[in-house]
Amino acid sequence: AQTVTQSQPEMSVQEAETVTLSCTYDTSESDYYLFWYKQPPSRQMILVIRQEAYKQQNATENRFSVNFQKAAKSFSLKISDSQLGDAAMYFCAYRSPGGGSNYKLTFGKGTLLTVNP
Amino acid sequence: KAGVTQTPRYLIKTRGQQVTLSCSPISGHRSVSWYQQTPGQGLQFLFEYFSETQRNKGNFPGRFSGRQFSNSRSEMNVSTLELGDSALYLCASSPHVGGQYFGPGTRLTVL
């Protein structure tokens, strides 16, 4: 079974600074998907960024980018120019390949990000 | 497109009762998954439905069940509620490829 580990329960960053959230995973599969989700307090989960394991290029979405190290099974999220609205719980998630029968996400425990003005 | 909607948003039940939660996926999404979120266990996968068929099931007792209708709307049912069933229940819908898109959740409190 796949596992996802987020070793930082809490992180804080100053507004406008850069922060990196860590995620490692364990799998025997060679192809898979990785995601970062953001869950603001009392608000719904939002998909931030996704990475397909077969792609070597790291995914980027505006101020959010990932550092995907397949051999090390590491998938960190970098948030640049942090904004107050980035404050949230961030979850790293893994999904097996195969599309049709594998829409199950395995989540890490989350990292609570605080943004200080 | 409208997002994933879940009803009701909040529920309070007592032990032994049963509850039904509803989820309407994003238009065109045929896969609907359910997750339970608690402070202690985090996010745990319950089950996934595609075209009215359960394709995947997590490690939950048989008291947790679900179904999907022909219009892709899904319901989950929890029978004989226990205190430990208090949680945020999240529904997510998926296109054929890509990530899952979550609804706002139903907050269930069991007294």
For residue range A47-92, list pLDDT tens digits in order.
Answer: 999 999 988 889 999 999 999 999 999 999 999 999 999 999 999 9
- Note the residue count of chain A: 117
Residue pair B32/B6 in contact (Cβ under 8 Å)? The answer is no
Task: Give the tens place of pLDDT for each residue, A14-23.
Answer: 999 999 999 9
Q: How many degrees, rounded to 5, is the angle at CA B102 between CA B98 and CA B103?
A: 150
List, for residues B39-84, the tens digit of each pLDDT value: 989 999 999 999 899 988 899 999 999 999 999 999 999 999 999 9
Residues 18-77 of chain A whose Cβ lies under 8 A from any Cβ of chain B:
33, 35, 37, 43-47, 50
Question: How many CA atoms, within 13 angstroms, populate the side-chain half-sphere of residue A67?
Answer: 12
- HSE, CB side, 13 Å, CA atoms: give it for residue B70: 0
One-letter amino acid for residue A72 of the chain: A
Out of A44, A103, A105, the one facing B103 most closely (by C-beta) is A44
Q: Do A106 and B45 lie within an 8 Å CB cutoff?
A: yes
Looking at residue A56, its pLDDT comes to 84
> Considering just the CA atoms, what is the radius of gyration of chain A in Å?
14
CB spacing of A91 vs B43 below 8 angstroms: yes
Is A98 touching B (CB cutoff 8 A)?
Answer: no
